[in-house]
A and B are shown apart, each in its own frame.
Chain A
């Protein structure tokens, strides 16, 4: 029987472990997928997921219900992932990337690939490109928002995104050759 979200929140605020587990089960799949997109290794994603839910349970009393709970949790997961990746971003400072010319040829459809393949392609991107691609293409943030979040310039965000897109297309072509799809 599906338990009302309000009841779950109330239970979590009261520290009821059963409610916490139910909340985790309800949202962990989606949040784990997000974690995987922002990290390089499975272990990292698990750490992000764990840390994120701990934050969720500690901060749920501050949840204002202005946005759906899933968005609130998603923001926590993304911020946690960004914090985890931030050190790597500093290790590899983001610089503007010249516009990369895509090779002529047939544009492959994303739907031609499985989710695992797509995940793998995103994970293989350089850390900075991976994050900006996730934020822009999948989460839907604007470049100026990304620039603010990551404390970079808008130009850097755009160029890193272009790089990510270029690399992904290259990877998609390689995959299609490998599987004989193209």
Chain B
């Protein structure tokens, strides 16, 4: 029975297990349509997602704009009040001091035909007296009424008023047109950045600078590149006597610098800044003769008297020219502390500041570098003794800033530095005042 069953099942499996029946064409049409719908639904979902993203962006933009204008209005109110009070104080005969953050209530005395202004102050404010004879507020439509001037944040040291001038009551007609608060909807971008800058005089930032570096050797030393064949060297000629004439001349090279900056706006237009920078300079390469001693040690023939190895070989007097040239470059590393004073030409979203000042450059390292170092040179390439530990330079720059967020500023600053004293020491046959021209890129955070 079991055997028969199995046979029965196997027969059915063989008959139908691998059967194929071609389905009607409409099945694929339906599947195709459904897949297309799925695809469209996916696109729709994606579209909805992007719509929400766009809506969120618009909402953020609108919210940001509203906040921007709200802040602008409140700060402008303060500015206008400031301007008003200053103008009042100019026209008054005596001054009274008003405490910061007061709520002023101007009571108009109808009987006396002149308005008595009194200021009700908060508990921490000084009591205020107002010169009644001057504090007239001609406001016919509001005679006998009370005009409330709300929440004008005033700084005590800046605020001295004698009285409320009639002009102050007849706002906004007495205001300059560009300060008129009633012109809602009129952009007052001229004030916004000024307020930000005025309220954030301290800043810190980072910068990176790159440019050219001219060591200025040629100007003060007057030496030239003199090759051995020009002065009649032969392989057996006296190298020690002639070596100083074969010193290489280095042309201008590159400079890079980077560091931290801090600054403070001490007045509306004047900025003081300093910082700490790491600077690396390199001169252009110059050719120098290769010489060898009796032990086949190779030396580059430099003018460095601080090169003890070369000096020893020269004193041994058994040097011979190899007939090859090697390219040498001077490299310097300095820590620089600049001290700059800047005059703000433009202080808006984009600002321009003219800077000038002095910088102290503290030598970290200086050395000669042989390009490729053919065969390995036995020179002592440190040139520390040939250069001063410190040199000072005059600096000037034009700083272009862009306030891309509330506190963040992007800076671009072409700069020029000229050494005021020689950066070479007395042991260096060259006397040189380097200069460099560069472009600095930086970011700044305004506190």
Contacts and interface: CB of A to CB of B under 8 A. Distances in A.
B is bound to A: yes
A36 B35 CA distance: 23
B30 A50 contact: yes
Nearest to A25: B28
A30 B12 contact: no
Given A28-B23, A30-B18, A140 B13 contact: yes
Given A28-B28, A30-B18, A118-B15, A54 B35 contact: yes
Interface string B16-45: 111111111011101110110011000000
Interface stretch (B3-11, B84-92, B422-430): B3-11
Contacts of A25: 28
Interface string A84-114: 0000000000000000000000010111010
Contacts of B4: 107
B11 A111 contact: yes
A119 B16 contact: yes
Interface of B: 4-5, 8-9, 11-24, 26-28, 30-32, 34-35, 38-39
Contacts of A67: none
Contacts of B31: 24, 50, 53-54, 57
Given A30-B20, A136-B9, A115 B28 contact: no
A28 B27 contact: yes
Most buried by A among B8, B22, B39: B8
A25 B22 CA distance: 9
Interface of A: 15, 17, 20-21, 24-25, 28-30, 32-33, 36-37, 46, 49-50, 53-54, 57-58, 107, 109-111, 113, 115, 118-119, 122, 133, 136-140, 165
A122 B22 contact: no
A33 B5 CA distance: 23
B353 to A, nearest CB: 56
Contact of A138 (B12, B22, B27, B35): B12
Nearest to A30: B20
A17 B30 CA distance: 13
Nearest to A24: B28
A53 B9 CA distance: 28
B13 A137 contact: yes
28 contacts: A15-B39, A17-B35, A21-B28, A24-B28, A25-B28, A28-B22, A29-B23, A30-B20, A32-B21, A32-B23, A33-B16, A49-B23, A50-B30, A54-B35, A58-B38, A107-B4, A107-B8, A110-B11, A111-B14, A113-B15, A115-B19, A118-B12, A118-B16, A122-B16, A137-B8, A138-B17, A139-B17, A140-B13
B35 A57 contact: yes
A30 B8 contact: no
Contacts of B5: 165
B22 to A, nearest CB: 5
Contacts of A28: 22-23, 27-28
A165 B5 CA distance: 9
A29 B13 contact: no
Contact of B32 (A15, A17, A115): A17
Contacts of A133: 12
Nearest to A140: B13
A70 B19 CA distance: 13
Nearest to A117: B15
Contacts of A50: 27, 30-31, 34
Contacts of B39: 15
Nearest to A45: B23
A17 B31 CA distance: 11
Given A54-B35, A118-B15, A119-B16, A32 B22 contact: yes
A17 B28 CA distance: 11
Given A20-B35, A50-B27, A29 B8 contact: no
Given A20-B35, A29-B23, A115 B15 contact: yes
Given A50-B34, A109-B11, A138-B17, 6 more contacts: A30-B20, A33-B21, A49-B23, A50-B31, A137-B8, A140-B13
Nearest to B8: A165
